[in-house]
Amino acid sequence: MITHDYSQWHEPEKPPFTIEDLVSAVKELMMQYHVTFDEALRHLQEKGLPYNQFLKASGLEDLLQGYLGELEKRKREILDHYRLDELLNRLEQEFRRKGAELEKMLSKLKDKGLSQKLQETLSQRNPSLFYNLDWQLSRLQNKQAEDARKPLQELNYLLQRLNALEGLYHRHEFTGPQTPTLEEAGRLKERLETLEALEQQLKDALEYGDLFNMEVETLKEILGEEAAQALQAKRDELKSRFNEALRATGEVDYDEESDIYKITPGAARKIGEKALKEVFSRLFSEGLGRHYAALAGEGNVELTVTHPYEFGDSLTHLDLPSSLLNSAIRQASAPSEAGAPAGLKGGRIQIDSRDFMVHQTKGAASSAVVMLIDQSGSMSRYGRFYNAKKLALALDALIRTEYPEDKLFFVCFSTFAKQVAVGAIPELAPKPISMMGGAVNMRVDFSKGLSPRDKASIPEHFTNLQKGLELARVLLANMETKNKSILLITDGAPTAFYEGPHLYLTYPPNERTYQRTLREVKAVTDEGIVLNTFMMGNEVDAGYFGEGDFLEDMHKINKGRLIFPAPEKLTQYVIRDFLDHKRKIIQI
């Protein structure tokens, strides 16, 4: 006989901070604060959170509990051996006696203010009042005042020892028979404080997994070499398990030689997919009538209209219900040998190519897009660069899943410009502003080459839109599609340009900077590339140095769109704009 006992179901305990939580938190730190994956992870490791779920599995929890028990035993041995009440009573009596002697000395100065100050100091027992009184005595510059300073300083020292021991007495329950000397009491205080500090580290390790901030040398000093070695071995085992768990997510690579963690391209794509879902949820709530869904297949969209199969049609678009129905009708109406319909043989349908029906499809015309991201110093303000990175990853996710025939490139520009891979985007940061103050009019000559030191001295926070557009144009030049576009994400006018072998850095921007940049806009336009600009400043910002006129001239040349989104709306604006553009170029 089997008996079943039932009780209320309780959800299994979940680790307070899982690997998945960790990776998500690190990625968000990377995006918001523009740091590397390794830097963000080390920051969380300092808080101990990444390791807590491995404590039980590695046996560290039992080891740490054992150490805590041993520390408690050591503390109890001290507390059961000593008592502090008699020592405190003696120190209190000595403090009052020395205080009375000092009052007599100060009374001889016949300064009622000083006597009153001493009484206040003795009653409040504040060390800072002792220092203040000592300073006043030093200013009197006579022998009696100078003679009073030494006993005053000794009294202050005695007070500090008394306060320290009183604190120790109230924190712990001393129950032993032995009264220590003052020097022994000082050593007891240091010993107990060391035990308490190590005890707190062990508790933090248990609560947060904070193992790597623990002082192994202190553990070795108190509990011995064997205990320290056991902890070190367990820490090494735990870190190995931790690294394996990170690798298992498919989002983190670990270089053992350099001890550096790096994000994988797959992790960057997941950031983009999450951002894209968020964007689509907002667009849907605003009535766009579209939702995010990954499409598989050959890049064509099936329509409800069908037609009979013809040689060359893809069977991936087979309309199976219509095909089966055609077969059933054909067999049911086929004449028998007697001339009447034969019906289905044995109730089975025999299908062949005459019955096939396939969906008509519309093909999405391919596009080639360069997302041109301003990496200048001002993009660090108001969350601009964070939202630009978020957009880049979301757009990559959209094109990969819904428009796999499209090509997407990323180019970042500041003083210089370079192409970047999607996997590097989460770690990107705006260039730090290295020059503050007045106007800048700098020329750098590259005709003879520059040493690494000279090149490193060039400020990188300027806005070289000319070079960014040039690189984007070169990337699009070899694309066969006719649908080429640049999505420019910026927050201001250009402040740098090349002319021959010379690089010019100008602030505020001037007409020469504008004209050299507009030449590149004309080159982009002549190659049939549409330039759409998303200006992340505001209309007020675009007026001090003719920025508004520059933007107007730029779009008179190219005829692209100019939009002024708030940083937090950037992703939504660009995705909507991209989808609207795709609708226009789809050929049915």
Tell me the C-alpha to C-alpha distance, in Å, between residue 478 and each of 210, 337, 367. 53, 65, 13
Give the pLDDT of residue 544: 66
Q: Quick check: 471 pLDDT over 90?
A: yes
Q: Where exactly are the structural domains of the chain?
A: 19-80+187-263, 85-173, 300-332+350-363, 367-585
Q: Residues 213, 117: contact at Cβ < 8 Å?
A: no
In 3D space, the residue among 20, 18, 43, 21 whose CA is nearest the CA of residue 30 turns out to be 43
Give the span between the Cα atoms of 292 and 369, in whole angstroms.
20
- For residue 48, give the DSSP letter: T
Residues near 138 by Cβ (< 8 Å), separated by ≥ 6?
145, 146, 149
Confidence of residue 390 (pLDDT cuts 50, 70, 90): confident
Euclidean distance between the first and the last CA atom of the chain, given in angstroms as a whole number: 71
Confidence of residue 10 (pLDDT cuts 50, 70, 90): low
Give the pLDDT of residue 538: 56
Q: Residues 133, 117: contact at Cβ < 8 Å?
A: yes
Strand pairing category for 252-255 and 260-263: antiparallel
Q: DSSP string of 163-186? A: HHHHHHHHHS----SBPPPHHHHH
Helix axes 511-526, 465-477, angle to 10 degrees: 10
Mean pLDDT (whole number) for 541-563: 80
Confidence of residue 247 (pLDDT cuts 50, 70, 90): confident
Give the span between the Cα atoms of 483 and 88, in whole angstroms.
88
Give the span between the Cα atoms of 231 and 220, in whole angstroms.
10
In 3D space, the residue among 240, 265, 261 whose CA is nearest the CA of residue 250 turns out to be 265
Confidence of residue 418 (pLDDT cuts 50, 70, 90): very high
Confidence of residue 304 (pLDDT cuts 50, 70, 90): low
Give the pLDDT of residue 122: 83
Residue of higher predicted confidence among 46 and 146: 146
User: What CATH number should be reported for the domain whose range is 367-585?
Assistant: 3.40.50.410
Q: Quick check: 459 pLDDT over 70?
A: yes
Mean pLDDT (whole number) for 237-252: 82
Q: How many CB atoms lie within 10 A of CB 399?
A: 19
- Kindly report the backbone phi and psi dihedral angles of residue 587, in degrees, each rounded to the nearest multiple of 5, phi listed first: -105, 125
The Cα diameter of the chain in Å comes to 146
Residue of higher predicted confidence among 57 and 238: 238
Q: Quick check: 103 pLDDT over 70?
A: yes
Q: Strand (E) positions, 101-141?
A: none
Outline where 12-111 has alpha helix (H).
19-33, 37-47, 55-58, 60-79, 85-107
Instruction: Write out the H or E segment, with its range, that includes residue 407.
Output: strand 407-413
Instruction: Give the SS3 label for residue 262.
Output: strand
Give the pLDDT of residue 17: 60
Q: Quick check: 372 pLDDT over 90?
A: yes
Give the pLDDT of residue 455: 82
Q: DSSP string of 351-390? A: --GGG-EEEEEEEPPPEEEEEEEE-SGGGGGGGHHHHHHH
Mean pLDDT (whole number) for 481-488: 88
Q: Which range has the worst mean pLDDT, 9-18, 204-213, 567-576?
A: 9-18
Is the dihedral angle over the CA atoms 573, 396, 486, 425 positive or is it negative?
positive
Alpha carbon dihedral 422, 424, 425, 427, in 10-degree steps, equals: 160
Structure tokens at 517: 């940049």
Would residue 289 be called left, alpha or beta, if left means φ above 0 and alpha means ψ between -120 and 50 degrees?
left
Q: Residues 554, 525: contact at Cβ < 8 Å?
A: no
In 3D space, the residue among 324, 267, 310, 368 whose CA is nearest the CA of residue 585 turns out to be 368
- Kindly report the backbone phi and psi dihedral angles of residue 82, in degrees, each rounded to the nearest multiple of 5, phi listed first: -120, 160
Percent of the chain with pLDDT over 90: 16
Give the span between the Cα atoms of 156 and 541, in whole angstroms.
62
Q: Is 53 exposed, middle or buried (0-12, 13-18, 19+ CB in 10 A)?
A: buried
Q: Residues 555, 562: contact at Cβ < 8 Å?
A: yes
Give the pLDDT of residue 56: 63
Instruction: Give the SS3 label for residue 506.
Output: strand
Q: Quick check: 342 pLDDT over 70?
A: no
Q: Is 129 exposed, middle or buried (0-12, 13-18, 19+ CB in 10 A)?
A: middle
Please state, rounded to an integer, the average pLDDT across all residues of the chain: 80
Structure tokens at 337: 């040998």
Q: Residues 70, 223: contact at Cβ < 8 Å?
A: yes
Residues near 548 by Cβ (< 8 Å), separated by ≥ 6?
539, 542
Give the pLDDT of residue 293: 40
Q: Residues 218, 190: contact at Cβ < 8 Å?
A: no
Give me the count of residues in the chain: 588
Instruction: Give the SS3 label for residue 520.
Output: helix
Percent of the chain with pLDDT over 70: 81
Mean pLDDT (whole number) for 544-573: 83
